[in-house]
Amino acid sequence: MSDALRMTICDGKYTIIQDSNWKTRILRYGEEWRDVTGDHVIGGLALELQEARDRIKRMESFINRFLDPEDLGYVVNNCIRDDAREAIERERVEVKP
């Protein structure tokens, strides 16, 4: 059975694993630690964190395509180059200050 969700947090201390049948368990330092199946708070938080991580990766990839290599990781003078701004508008990407 494959994992529907597998993520590591706290610098590798904990791994949250949720299989395709919604069984959720936590490893601590790679060893079985807790079965939290039915604890929807843990599963919900893990899912939202994974979605946020995925969205950040997509946004970083998108932004990096339009910034000069020396500008990666930040935007000079709080400005986005015109070609990046146009691409963001085309993609309808929400950018918050």
pLDDT tens profile 20-64: 888 899 999 999 999 998 888 888 888 889 899 999 888 888 777
Structure tokens at 2: 């494959």
Beta-bridged to residue 8, according to DSSP, are 15
Q: How confident is the model at residue 77 (pLDDT cuts 50, 70, 90)?
A: very low
Computed on alpha carbons and rounded to an integer, the radius of gyration of the chain in Å comes to 18
Instruction: Give the integer Cα–Cα distance in Å for 86 and 94.
Output: 13
φ/ψ of residue 19, rounded to 5: -90, 180
Q: How confident is the model at residue 82 (pLDDT cuts 50, 70, 90)?
A: low
Q: How many domains does the chain have?
A: 1
Q: Report the predicted TM-score, pTM, of the whole model to 2 decimal places.
A: 0.56
DSSP tally for the chain: helices H, then strands E: 2, 4
Alpha helices, H only, the chain? 40-64, 82-91
Instruction: Give the integer Cα–Cα distance in Å for 51 and 34.
Output: 23
Residue 96 within a domain: no
Instruction: Give the integer Cα–Cα distance in Å for 23 and 18.
Output: 5
Residue 7 within a domain: yes
* Domain range enclosing 80: 3-91
